[in-house]
Amino acid sequence: MSKRTRVAVLASVVISTAGLLSACSFSTADAICNTGEYPVMAVGSSAGGACVTNGDAAPSGYVRYPKGKVPQHVGDKWDTYWDSHAVDAQGKVVSAP
Distance CA 92, CA 90 (A): 6
Domain that holds residue 64: 37-95
Q: pLDDT at residue 38 above 70?
A: yes
Distance CA 83, CA 92 (A): 16
Q: pTM for this structure?
A: 0.68
Assigned domain for 7 exists: no
Assigned domain for 90 exists: yes
Assigned domain for 73 exists: yes
Q: What percent of the chain has pLDDT over 90?
A: 64
Tens-place pLDDT, residues 4-17: 544 444 444 445 44
First to last CA, the chain: 70
Asked whether the beta carbons of 63 and 87 are under 8 A apart, the reply is yes
Which spans in the chain are helix H?
3-24, 77-81
Domain total of the chain: 1
